Structure formats: structure tokens, C-alpha cells
């Protein structure tokens, strides 16, 4: 009797040592032992949906509609006024929203580091990682430290961030309105910092 018990213990021990250890990698979907309300009859963000013909749970914005959080002031949103003239400076409303220029520049620096540095470089001199690594001849961002860009109105820098320009993709879909203006402020600060000796 005790011998068969030992055999049983050994068999179970052997079987479990053959089974995988914790943390082993697998491309199989995980097994969920307790399924109570694990999958509820609702769609999560970015989930596939059978209900809609295009298969997405998240609905694209209907044409000619305005979302509640959308900015409707053209100066703020587009960087241009009704006559399509570029805003000369960062709108006061934006600066006030950041509680002053210092906070705007600090925010602008963090956003610049995320979205702009890969191509334009930390100094804005165009010596970023992407032009260096990609070795694609057409990717040559200009330096911010020449008179052409120094004398651009703030609204034109803003519109470039929002809409892109030539090889530069648009960043309007990832950087919200106020952050775009903050980046413009930080680019100005970078330009001032590099003026020395010129």
C-alpha cells in the first residue's frame, strides 16, 4: 500500500515538473480560470466590433460635426486668423492657461523632448537620431537657428506642428492644442539660447 502511495506521489511530482514553470513565454492566449464577468457584453477602446460594418468599436467623427472638446477659435486651433494670417505670438489665453510663461516653457520642453527631438535634435539644430540612423537623404531637418525660422510668426511654427510640412508628418493627432503652443514657446527659447556669438 505504502509503495503504491510513493509511486503516486512520484508520478504527480514528475508530471508537475514536466509542466511549465511560471513566467514561461507562450503565444497562446492565456487561460482564464474564473470567468465571472471577465468578458462583459460591451466594447473596450480599440476593440473589434461585429456590430458596425467597418468592424471598429470606436467610431470615427461624423463629417461636418464638431466634438465638444474641439477648439473652434481658429487662432488657437489653426494658428491663423480669419484672413489666414499667422498669429504673430502665442495667444495670451494659452499662456494664462499654463499659469504663466515659465510653466508653458517647462511643459514645452517635455513635449519637445518626446515628439521633436528624434528628428530635430535636443538643440533644434537638425542633428537628431532619425536623420543620422535612417540614412535617408531626404530627411534633413533644417536648423531652427537661422533667420528664416527665427523670423517666422509663432502661428506658422504652430501650424507646422499641427499640419506637418514637406517631409515632416503632422503632429496634430498626437499633440493637443495647448501643448503645440508650448512647443512653439520652447522652440523660441532654444533659438534665444543659441543666439550667443552670432
Q: Which residues bind another protein (CB under 8 A)?
A: 1-2, 5, 9, 12-13, 16, 19-20, 22-33, 37-40, 42, 44-46, 48, 56, 110, 113-115, 118, 129-130, 133-134, 136, 138-139, 167, 169-170, 173-176
- Which residues lie closer than 8 Å to 4 by C-beta, 6 or more apart? none
Return d(Cα 120, Cα 97) in angstroms, integer.
27
Return d(Cα 187, Cα 198) in angstroms, integer.
18
Closest CA to 155 of 81, 79, 94: 79
Nearer to another protein, 122 or 189 (CB): 122
| Nearest distance from C-beta of residue 174 to another protein, angstroms | 4
Nearer to another protein, 42 or 64 (CB): 42
Nearer to another protein, 33 or 197 (CB): 33
Structure-block grid coordinates of residue 24: 514561461
Return d(Cα 22, Cα 43) in angstroms, integer.
31
| Nearest distance from C-beta of residue 129 to another protein, angstroms | 6
| Nearest distance from C-beta of residue 189 to another protein, angstroms | 18
| Nearest distance from C-beta of residue 151 to another protein, angstroms | 27
Return d(Cα 1, Cα 16) in angstroms, integer.
23
| Nearest distance from C-beta of residue 30 to another protein, angstroms | 5
Structure-block grid coordinates of residue 81: 486668423
| Nearest distance from C-beta of residue 193 to another protein, angstroms | 20
Sort residue 47 into left (φ over 0), alpha (ψ -120 to 50) or beta.
Answer: beta
Nearer to another protein, 139 or 152 (CB): 139
Structure-block grid coordinates of residue 149: 525660422
Integer angstrom CA distances of residue 135 from 117, 119, 131:
17, 12, 6
Nearer to another protein, 9 or 192 (CB): 9
Nearer to another protein, 56 or 150 (CB): 56
Amino acid at each position: 500500500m505504502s509503495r503504491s502511495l510513493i509511486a503516486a506521489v512520484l508520478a504527480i511530482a514528475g508530471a508537475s515538473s514536466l509542466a511549465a514553470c511560471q513566467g514561461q513565454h507562450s503565444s497562446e492566449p492565456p487561460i482564464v480560470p474564473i470567468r465571472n464577468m471577465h468578458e462583459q457584453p460591451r466594447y473596450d477602446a480599440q476593440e473589434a466590433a461585429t456590430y458596425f460594418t467597418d468592424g471598429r468599436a470606436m467610431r470615427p467623427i461624423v463629417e461636418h460635426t464638431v466634438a465638444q472638446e474641439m477648439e473652434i477659435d481658429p487662432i488657437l486651433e489653426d494658428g491663423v486668423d480669419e484672413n489666414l494670417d499667422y498669429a504673430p505670438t502665442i495667444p495670451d489665453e494659452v499662456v494664462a492657461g499654463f499659469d504663466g510663461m515659465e510653466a508653458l516653457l517647462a511643459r514645452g520642453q517635455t513635449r519637445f523632448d518626446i515628439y521633436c527631438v528624434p528628428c530635430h535634435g535636443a538643440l533644434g539644430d537638425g542633428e537628431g537620431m532619425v536623420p543620422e540612423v535612417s540614412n535617408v537623404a531626404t530627411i534633413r531637418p533644417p536648423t531652427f537657428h537661422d533667420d528664416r525660422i527665427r523670423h517666422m510668426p509663432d502661428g506658422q511654427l504652430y501650424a507646422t506642428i499641427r499640419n506637418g510640412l514637406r517631409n515632416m508628418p503632422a503632429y496634430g493627432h498626437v499633440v493637443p492644442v495647448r501643448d503645440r503652443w508650448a512647443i512653439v514657446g520652447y522652440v523660441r527659447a532654444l533659438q534665444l539660447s543659441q543666439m550667443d556669438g552670432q
